Amino acid sequence: MESLKELYKIGTGPSSSHTMGPKKVAEAFVKRASDADRYKVTLYGSLAATGKGHMTDVAILSVLEPVAPTEIVWRPDISLPFHPNGMRFEAFKAGKPVDEWVIYSVGGGALANEETAKNPPANIYPMTHISEILEWCNREGQTFWEYVEECEGPGIWDYLDEIWTAMCETIVRGLTAEGVLPGGLKVSRKASTYLVKAESYT
């Protein structure tokens, strides 16, 4: 299994594949093409079809637009072969292309393309079944959380504390905010209403 840091992430909502992944690409691309005077981002397939509602463009522009003017092109009619959530980032300087990157947002904020697929991330947990882990715990006289620390290192607890704090803040924000969700789809917030109804039954 991969690190818990791959499972729990803090990022731009509402979708890890439609906002967190594209923003992550933009952050990496602006570092490798920081001297560009213009950017162009083409979104394909599923990413383009539902990206407006998920504010994919907002996530990308928040990174690239402060550096240079950025054009977003939507191509829901074209799906690249590797994955439905394809993106093409292009950088220009003095009217000439200086860099191009085709990458895919494959879920959970993770990115991949044909090259990275050949070298998947390493598993830091050597055991793959809970029965093996429990057997190890019994044999070593350690608890389940100690096995996690054995594999992840002690720094994992500070990371998970940040995750827990973000989760709690998100829940409170969702239960107290009213009105319409951002994104242009005019979807009403419902959590606070459901909370009031639930509390009326107690």
Is there a domain that residue 185 lies in?
A: no
Give the pLDDT band of residue 87 (cuts 50, 70, 90): very high
Is there a domain that residue 29 lies in?
A: yes
What domain count does the chain have?
1
CB atoms within 10 A of CB 126: 11
**Cα three-residue angle 62-189-9, rounded to 5 degrees:** 45
Is there a domain that residue 9 lies in?
A: no
Q: Which domain holds residue 84?
A: 16-118
Nearest to 22 by CA among 68, 71, 81, 85: 85
Q: Kindly state the average pLDDT of the residues 37-48.
A: 96
Is there a domain that residue 83 lies in?
A: yes
Domain at 49, CATH number: 3.30.1330.90
Give the pLDDT band of residue 17 (cuts 50, 70, 90): confident
* pLDDT above 90 for 117: no
**Per-residue pLDDT at 136:** 93
**Cα three-residue angle 110-115-116, rounded to 5 degrees:** 30
Is there a domain that residue 145 lies in?
A: no
* pLDDT above 80 for 63: yes
Give me the residue label for tokens 């990308």: 60
